[in-house]
Chains A and B, each alone.
Chain A
């Protein structure tokens, strides 16, 4: 809740480990707010909730955030740094080997753009960089806000393959989309949101 306007109310939700959950709903239904809440990016003002064993009301949300990967609408990095420098910053911050950066860029097909300043990348490329950022981070909980938005068909196929690997690796994925996946073989459960509440889990 922010600025005195309730973003979410009446959300009752249990998400199992290593599953894919798709949050659907119209614009302004509260999809992004739900994801931010799950990632500890926003505070819960009332009610109760636990993510990865951390209480959302009075737990240490910084600890929770370290275990969460976030992919937002916008490019989620420092626009003046190159793709590689952004990933190296994340790797160093989390004390992950910097050597994994090259592999992650390779995996998302951005190896040839490694030294390009992020602001010069196209929207789709920035999306891919965002995914690479998550690959370097290897979070337990992946929170993806409209990940299909600026991907072309090849991008979607690639992305589904990547999600399958992530789930097989034991991580949990929650993503938001306008509709349930159209062309995906992934097993998922859908959460429909309307007007700030879950209407059909």
Chain B
């Protein structure tokens, strides 16, 4: 399982390194979305607002949707699916590998967008760095959930449009927990409750993925 996970994760990351979709399409979108959210606040509030954490997570969520879609589309390109299926890969390994690759890609995105919100939305730099651990764990939970929901949408009608409907309700608690602990960090505090939410969600999605990813692939 671990061997396959590693194989799949390095494969996904290598494809990303070759195609540069993250660098040239996803990250620019994230930065633009961040700028637009500043514009939406209006000139007086954009630089002084406490909305930084919420906007950061909102933008990250939408960017994550694109990346989840991309991650699943790789496996479902015409012809790829059949020949990879004949490799008979362990589905639990495939799930872990894809979730790991997505986590790393989301971490890169998260750090860039965090820098962006420090720059554009004037979120405090030092306190933002204190929030980094909670951001990384939240993004890992997001990846595990996204890999599962992404696989659920493939092969049906309109995978790209179905994905947001399936994922966003599940992302709601992660958004809440992430935003709250980021805001708490900005005020120099921390709350253990948000860690519970994020860690429990991460563990639950990972467990379901390891157990049930095969059911999704088999269809």
Contacts and interface: CB of A to CB of B under 8 A. Distances in A.
| B partners with A | yes
Interface of A: 36, 39, 41, 61-63, 65-66, 68-81, 85, 89-90, 92-94, 117, 130, 133, 137, 139
Contact of B7 (A63, A72, A89): A89
Given A74-B78, A78-B80, A92-B7, A65 B86 contact: yes
Main secondary structure of the interface of A (DSSP, over half): mixed
B18 A81 contact: yes
Contacts of A80: 15, 18-19
14 contacts: A39-B82, A39-B86, A62-B88, A62-B214, A65-B88, A66-B88, A71-B83, A72-B79, A78-B15, A80-B19, A89-B7, A90-B87, A93-B7, A139-B86
A14 B88 CA distance: 25
Interface residues of B, number: 21
Contact of A85 (B14, B78, B85): B14
A89 B187 CA distance: 48
Contacts of B15: 78, 80-81
A136 B15 CA distance: 21
Interface string B13-55: 0110011000000000000000000000000000000000000
Contact of B11 (A68, A74, A78): A78
A91 to B, nearest CB: 10
Nearest to B75: A78
A61 B218 CA distance: 9
B83 A93 contact: no
B86 A70 contact: yes
Nearest to B214: A62
A61 B83 CA distance: 14
